[in-house]
Amino acid sequence: MKRVSFVLLLLFVFTSVFTQEIIKPGMGQKIDNYLQKARDNGWTGSVLVAQKGDILLAKGYGFADKESKRLQTSETVFSIGSITKQFTGAAILKLEMQGKLSTNDLITKYFKNVPEDKKNITLHHLLTHSAGFRGAIGDDYDAISTQDFTALAMNSPLLFNPGERYEYSNVGYSLLGIIIEQVSGKNYETYLYDNIFKPAGMEKTGYLRPKYNKEQLAVGYRQGERWGTALDRPWREDGPGWHLRANGGILSTVGDMHKWALALKNNTVLSAAAKEKYFTPHIKEYEDGNSYYGYGWVNQKSPYNTTQIWHNGGNGVYNAFMGMDLDEDINIIVSSNISGKISDDLAMRINDILHGQFQELDAKLIAQYQGVYQLASGSKIQIHFNENNELITAFEDADAVKLLIGNNDNEESCKICQEYDNRTKDILEKVLNNDFSALAKARGEPEEEVQPRAAPFWNAQKEMFGKVNKIKSLGTFKRPQAWISFAKIEFEKQPLFLMYIWENDQLMGVRDMPILDKVFEKESDTKFFSPSNSKTLTFEKSKNGKMQIKIGKNENSVVAEKVK
């Protein structure tokens, strides 16, 4: 009996150490206070923050599995999504250090029968998203083989000539993964473990090698519905198919990712020369931005004029962020297993806290302002404040959408709006009946390429939320370089809102949301504003003493009164 008790005691001690939380007094506690508010507002995930090698905080928040009430910890395993690309970039540079390839090599050295339009693509082009490939050519969880993926990629048309510009592409990084396997003679994950994970001490990172059990993984939730874990998806025997492998989907913990940051800092895996090439801002991402892409990393100046190296990842269910400030030696890693709360936003606010640039709103004002407000039309707007001191308006109908998001003021705009409203509704009606022709036409792509990407998403929505009762257009609005259309699908169980982004008559992107919302920043204790369209919200008491908001300015303002 004593021996059994001693063994159980050892197991308890080991488990306690294994999941130990770190909250350092001072700055660590400030960050923890902020993250607890985020958790209270619905966020769940795990976070590690370190500065100059000292871990200030390592902790989990909320549930890793809501149904079983299993809590997140600092050792919860999560999908890092496209942060995987940094490992692919590091593997290519490691092979270059080993004299087995060069980033200047043409892909014709590694693939046979390369079409004419792709013969000038180099590994550098693939690494910097400048080869011209589309973002994706299939579903993440299609267990496609090396041969089939290569053929599909080589036969897909390029968006532009190699080296001409930047266009983020999972396809290019999967091709790099195939090259890693070919040159090393090893499975992609095996090469990463032998040359990156093991030297860095990362024993909890990979696809299959760590032999995870489901109790270690965070369960993903989409719009409140259980999505499951990566282990629930259809993978091949040696890992995911090539629509995901090498560009995303690796699993890890915040602790292991911190070990990776330390390995990079100490040149444990890459030489100083290789690391410089790795972080170099090779190509500008967007003409009007200040971010550049390296080899699997974004290089960008922070608001504090320091050099940040970062990447994010996600699939619309889970999301993650890893960032390193090279000048101040700060490392921030954030993961989340729910849709709707973006890890990048939390990481940005944590960085503000570290720099003393975050002040909380007065709790009395929050209590006074939060609630449901109603327009004269009967349309309702819900107001609450998030952990970032931002005012969030949530709404569901066309009147509120027009008031809070819209900025159209002439007849011509409204005609164009109607055209995009009709196109958006037509696309939705068709895809919900498994017809992807209108979507393909709007995207300017062959239907046989669009259907495999779009069908899994729409099938999942119907499975989760039941039959469709109605589709509503909520309006289209002009932005500087695009038109934004909003629509609502009334499913049997709950609604789904969508935002379609149109540029030059072509559909450039789609975002789905459980509810429509608009963020306003604080201008004063009574006034909040939206930088994107200059809309303002001003709080005041009505003649009958009820709280009300004025939306807009002066004579153009519209009043909504608090009703709940």
Burial 310-348 (b: 16+ CB within 10 A, else e): bbbbbbebbbbbbbbbeebebbbbbbbbbbbbbbbbbbb
- Return the pLDDT at 306: 96
pLDDT tens over the chain, length 564 residues: 333 333 333 333 333 334 479 999 999 999 999 999 999 988 999 999 999 989 999 999 999 999 999 999 999 999 999 999 999 999 999 999 999 999 999 999 999 999 999 999 999 999 999 999 999 999 999 999 999 999 999 999 999 999 999 999 999 999 999 999 999 999 999 999 999 999 999 999 999 999 999 899 999 998 788 999 988 988 999 999 999 999 999 999 999 999 999 999 999 999 999 999 999 999 999 888 899 999 999 999 999 999 999 999 998 899 999 999 999 999 999 999 998 778 999 999 999 999 998 877 788 888 999 999 999 999 999 999 988 888 999 999 999 998 898 865 554 558 889 999 999 999 999 999 999 999 999 999 999 989 998 999 899 899 889 999 999 999 998 887 889 999 999 999 999 999 999 998 899 989 888 889 999 988 888 999 998 778 899 999 988 889 999 998 666 789 999 998
pLDDT at 1 (0 to 100): 33
What count of residues does the chain have? 564
Is the separation of the CB atoms in 422 and 406 below 8 Å? no
Question: What does the pLDDT look like over 529-562, one tens digit per residue?
Answer: 998 778 899 999 988 889 999 998 666 789 999 9
CATH number for domain 402-514, candidates 3.10.450, 1.10.3470, 3.40.50, 1.10.3860:
3.10.450
The whole-number pLDDT of residue 3 equals: 37
Query: CA 390, CA 231: separation in Å to the nearest integer?
Result: 36
Give the model's pLDDT for residue 495.
92
Determine how many CB atoms are found less than 10 A away from the CB of residue 28: 19
Please answer whether residues 507 and 501 qualify as being in contact, where contact means their C-beta atoms are separated by less than 8 angstroms.
yes
Structure tokens, 16: 């306690």
Q: How far is Cα 477 from Cα 492, in angstroms, rounded to an integer? A: 28
For residue 502, the SS3 value is strand
What are the angstrom distances between the C-alpha of 259 and each of 272, 332, 373? 17, 12, 48
Task: Please check whether residue 265 is in contact with residue 331, taking contact to mean a CB–CB distance below 8 angstroms.
Answer: no
Each residue of 407-454: pLDDT tens digit?
655 545 588 899 999 999 999 999 999 999 999 999 999 999 899 989
- For residue 402, what are its two tokens? 């027009």
* Residue 100 CA neighbour count, 13 Å, CB half: 14
Which residue in this structure is represented by tokens 């995930």? 45
Give the ranges where 267-342 is alpha helix by DSSP (H): 272-279
Closest CA to 387 of 407, 369, 360, 411: 360
> Which 3-state string (H, E, C) describes 417-479?
HHHHHHHHHHHHHHHCCCCCHHHHHHHCCCHHHHHHHHHHHHHHHHHHHCCEEEEEEEEEEEE
- 375 in helix, strand or coil? coil
Domain spans of the chain? 81-354, 363-396+518-562, 402-514
**Cβ atoms of 480 and 531 closer than 8 Å:** no
What is the per-residue pLDDT for 2?
34
User: Is the pTM above the cut of 0.75?
Assistant: yes
How open is the CA angle 472-474-480, to the nearest 5 degrees?
140
CATH topology classification for 81-354: Beta-lactamase (3.40.710)
3-state secondary structure of 17: helix
